[in-house]
Amino acid sequence: MNDRFSTTELRVSEFERYSRQIMLDGWGEQGQLQLKNSRVVIIGCGGLGNVVATYLAGAGVGTMSLIDGDDVELSNLPRQIAFDRDSCGLNKADELTQRLFSQNDDIDIHVNPLFLDVDNVDELLQEHDLVIDCSDNFETRRLINQWCVTNKLALLSASVIGWQGQALLVLPNSEYGCYQCLFDVTSTQENSCQSMGVNPAMVGVIGSYQANEALRFLLKLPSKLSSHVSLIDGVHFSINQFLRTGNPNCEVCANMKEPNND
């Protein structure tokens, strides 16, 4: 823990930088301090990660950890807006970190240019207030979900494919279940941007939605995503929210509920 976590007031330059958001209902000086004292980890620095990290850094989230072992490719540039031609061949987490520092050097960024796996997940995800899943494959999403449920950390998950996206917030010990309750654990089909294609503008939509929900969580404002899953369709531009129910046979979360001692 560094001194940042004991911050109890904003500097004059921070009041100026964040003035347009501090004036919002539900935000204020206290909310800005909460953001400054918050620690988030973002897994995946591709399309969603670019957008989420940019808005959270811009909004003044004090400590961010970025994880991605992938390098930027030419086919990423339509939707991965933090990168340019000079980024190609370079690591995404490194490149995104450079971009964020030029945007806001008042925040701490921990860069991890590697892929999340079972061996490093403990070390990389612990000691954060919110885990933000911007990864692009089921295997990683399930690993993150398993870790968050087991370690009782809040998980904000989103994904986008084609013209559609989805988002949900999994809170510890939630009666509304976890990510794996919703998505077939036996499915071996992997839909990815690589195999299915993706509309770059929808990556911006879903990433902005995910950033908004992350800010609401850190500001301790209620979110419908804690009990619902949102499905966003970019063809007709509709957002449908469905109440989630925990799967009583879920191998990840079914046995994690603790007896209520109140």
Active site residues: 193
Give the phi and the psi of residue 2 in degrees, each rounded to 5: -105, 180
How many degrees, rounded to 5, is the angle at CA 165 between CA 159 and CA 166? 70
Q: Which is nearer to Zn ion, 109 or 178 (CB)?
A: 178
Q: Which is nearer to Zn ion, 49 or 177 (CB)?
A: 177
Taking CB under 5 A as the criterion, the residue among 64, 93, 178, 232 binding Zn ion is 178
Establish if 250 lies at the interface with Zn ion (CB under 5 A): yes
Termini Cα distance of the chain: 31
Residues 41, 49: Cα–Cα separation, whole Å: 10
Q: Which is nearer to Zn ion, 51 or 156 (CB)?
A: 156
Judged by CB under 5 A, which stretch of 120-128, 186-194, 213-221, 248-256 contacts Zn ion?
248-256
Establish if 61 lies at the interface with Zn ion (CB under 5 A): no
- Please choose, from the candidates 208, 73, 195, the residue with its C-alpha nearest in 3D space to the C-alpha of residue 134: 208
Whole-angstrom Cα Rg for the chain: 18
- Please choose, from the candidates 99, 96, 123, the residue with its C-alpha nearest in 3D space to the C-alpha of residue 111: 96
Establish if 180 lies at the interface with Zn ion (CB under 5 A): yes
Establish if 34 lies at the interface with Zn ion (CB under 5 A): no
Taking CB under 5 A as the criterion, the residue among 177, 209, 218, 229 binding Zn ion is 177
Residues 78, 118: Cα–Cα separation, whole Å: 31
Length of the chain: 262
Judged by CB under 5 A, which stretch of 31-39, 60-68, 227-235, 249-257 contacts Zn ion?
249-257
Establish if 181 lies at the interface with Zn ion (CB under 5 A): yes
Q: Which is nearer to Zn ion, 47 or 177 (CB)?
A: 177
Establish if 143 lies at the interface with Zn ion (CB under 5 A): no
Establish if 203 lies at the interface with Zn ion (CB under 5 A): no
Residues 253, 173: Cα–Cα separation, whole Å: 8
> Which residues contact Zn ion (rule: CB under 5 A)?
177-178, 180-181, 250, 252-253
